[in-house]
């Protein structure tokens, strides 16, 4: 367990474009900041720039909405083409309200609008674009982890982060939708407490806590600081991807 942590917002990134080598952009941005990654550092990267680099951009004008999308769009006053994009990224619709769908994303996350976002997407050439989540955020994290670790010659971990609304509580918090090189969950079951008694509630959403911490620096309102380096974390649990954070419905007591 660490005694202190440091988190650094990494500025100096250019606008990320489809096809960009994100690991290279990150390496350059670290250099601009004078940050030299060390063994065990965790690089938290906002989903948005991962998606942009991976070209997960849809020109909304090219989308033909299905009958279902047209119907839902009319019900919730949302552009049926955007509804179509959301449905295409989803297994099912959990709930709706005006301009918002809560869905189960194809990857299993329950989230607003399947993560389909129009904010901070440049309206180039007047084209109306929407941004989807990466195809496989754990794989995105692993690619970044491998490339950055090689570039810097150290053992790094990477989290692809997003902000989710929650059941029961107001406000979004940072969560990990992808991770590599660290345990997304840490299972302490069976470990003794201070008095040698077995702990009761003891599986920790480690990667989500790191993403939440990073979110404190990433900002939301146009601040454009999508990358945070977290230094000082220690862990001994085995690595597990962010997919392990998704709770199967049958074991979920909190709905």
CB of 172 to its own copies, least distance (A): 6
User: Which residue stretch of 19-27, 53-61, 91-99, 138-146 sits at the interface with its own copies (rule: CB under 8 A)?
Assistant: 91-99
* 206 belongs to the binding site for its own copies (CB under 8 A): yes
Q: Interacting stretch for its own copies, rule CB under 8 A, among 58-66, 67-75, 145-153, 192-200?
A: 192-200
Based on the shown chain and the rule CB under 8 A, indicate whether residue 193 belongs to the binding site for its own copies. Answer: yes
Neighbours of 203 (CB within 10 A): 12
Decide: 133 and 89 in contact? Cβ < 8 Å.
Answer: yes
If one asks whether residue 88 binds its own copies (CB under 8 A), the answer comes out as no
Strand locations in 117-156 (E): 129-131
Q: Does 125 bind its own copies (CB under 8 A)?
A: no
109 counts as binding its own copies under rule CB under 8 A: yes
- Choices 3-11, 24-32, 59-67, 144-152 (CB under 8 A): range interacting with its own copies: 3-11
Stretch of residues binding its own copies (CB under 8 A), selected from 21-29, 58-66, 147-155, 208-216? 208-216
Please state the closest distance from residue 163 (CB atom) to its own copies, in A. 7
Nearer to its own copies (CB atom), residue 147 or residue 214: 214
* Residues linked to residue 227 through DSSP beta bridges, in sequence order: 10, 45
CB of 136 to its own copies, least distance (A): 18
Residue 94: CB minimum distance to its own copies, A: 8
Interaction of residue 122 with its own copies, rule CB under 8 A = yes
- Do 111 and 174 meet the contact criterion of CB atoms below 8 Å apart? no
Q: Under 8 Å CB-to-CB from 230, ≥6 apart: which residues?
A: 5, 6, 7, 41, 42, 43, 44, 210, 213, 214
| Whether 116 contacts 88, CB under 8 Å | no
User: Which region among 19-27, 54-62, 148-156, 168-176 touches its own copies (by CB under 8 A)?
Assistant: 168-176
Q: Are strands 129-131 and 57-59 parallel, antiparallel or unpaired?
A: antiparallel
Two structure tokens written together for 141: 């994290």
> Considering the complex, what minimum distance in angstroms separates the CB of residue 166 from its own copies?
6
Shortest CA distance to 142 belongs to which of 109, 181, 185?
181
């Amino acid at each position: 367990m660490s005694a202190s942590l440091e988190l650094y917002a990494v500025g100096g990134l250019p606008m990320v474009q489809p096809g960009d080598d994100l690991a290279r952009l990150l390496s350059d941005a670290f250099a601009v900041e004078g940050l030299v990654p060390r063994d065990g550092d965790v690089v938290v990267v906002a989903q948005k720039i991962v998606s942009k680099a991976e070209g997960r951009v849809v020109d909304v004008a090219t989308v033909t909405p299905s009958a279902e999308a047209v119907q839902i769009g009319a019900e919730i006053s949302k552009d049926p083409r955007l509804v179509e994009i959301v449905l295409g990224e989803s297994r099912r619709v959990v709930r709706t309200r005006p301009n918002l769908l809560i869905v189960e994303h194809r990857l299993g996350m329950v989230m607003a609008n399947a993560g389909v976002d129009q904010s901070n997407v440049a309206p180039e050439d007047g084209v109306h674009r929407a941004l989807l989540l990466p195809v496989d955020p754990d794989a995105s994290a692993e690619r970044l982890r491998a490339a950055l670790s090689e570039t810097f010659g150290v053992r790094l971990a990477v989290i692809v982060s997003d902000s989710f609304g929650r059941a029961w509580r107001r406000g979004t918090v940072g969560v990990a939708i992808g991770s590599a090189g660290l345990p997304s969950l840490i299972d302490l079951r069976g470990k003794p407490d201070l008095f040698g008694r077995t702990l009761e509630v003891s599986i920790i959403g480690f990667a989500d806590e790191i993403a939440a911490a990073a979110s404190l620096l990433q900002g939301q309102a146009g601040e454009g600081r999508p990358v945070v380096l977290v230094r000082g974390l220690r862990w001994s649990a085995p690595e597990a991807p962010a997919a392990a954070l998704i709770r199967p419905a049958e074991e979920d007591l909190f709905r």
